[in-house]
Amino acid sequence: MGGTADVDLYGWRPEAVVFDCDGLLVDTEPCWSVAEAELFARRGLPFGIEEKALVIGKSLPGAAAVLVGVFDEPGRAVEIADELLTLVAEVVAAEAEAKPGAGALVELVAAAGLPFGVASNSPRALLESALQRGGFAGAFPYSVAADEVEHPKPAPDMYEIACAALGVAPADTLAFEDSLTGLASAQAAGVRVVGVPTLRGQAFPADHVVASLLDTDLVAWVRGWKPV
């Protein structure tokens, strides 16, 4: 992770950029973890790294579909999703902050004159709350949320829809993702990915991986995207 830049990627200039939100632009993953830990605690269950890996990056319905089995609560996916949404919304609204370097990187992308947007596996209300808390309210010309597509991440639909809305082919688009779920979605759509993994120590087969959005080579690369 980090290290030498991928020569092929860093020698390329994308025509559009799509950012994930949770864990990438805004540090909501600790908020999700607090909510998820409470969800598990209410059932007398422990919550650790393995449990987190089961749900990170997933949409609410996707997470609930997994948790139905973990909790042995068949037929209660909707109720679990609603319970988790209520818990996480409270924490995000009170505690979420922008990830280091996120604001400056978004400003560099905007200065380059590229079409850009957000594709989030959170529902619209939670996405807007996270962006507001992170200081990104009104910063993105385009955004799409999980409850606005038929198949959220890891399906390619969200990236295909975002690329179409931005008017750029997936092959000419760059994504920033922090989870394997988001990575799978972007790659399935044919979008190149810079990975900034939230969970350390796991294989993350993006086109290039950095430890944070403050990575000096990454920032220099994006700064070099002069308007054409």
Catalytic residues: 20, 22
HEC per residue, 153-211? CCCCHHHHHHHHHHCCCHHHEEEEECCHHHHHHHHHHCCEEEECCCCCCCCCCCCEECC
Grouping H, G, I as helix, E, B as strand and the rest as coil, residue 67 is helix
Bond into 154 cis (ω within 30): yes
Say which residues have a Cβ less than 8 Å from residue 110's Cβ, sequence separation at least 6: 116, 139
Which structure tokens are listed for 188?
A: 């399935």
Task: Report CA-CA distances (Å) from 172 to 7, 81, 208.
Answer: 17, 35, 16
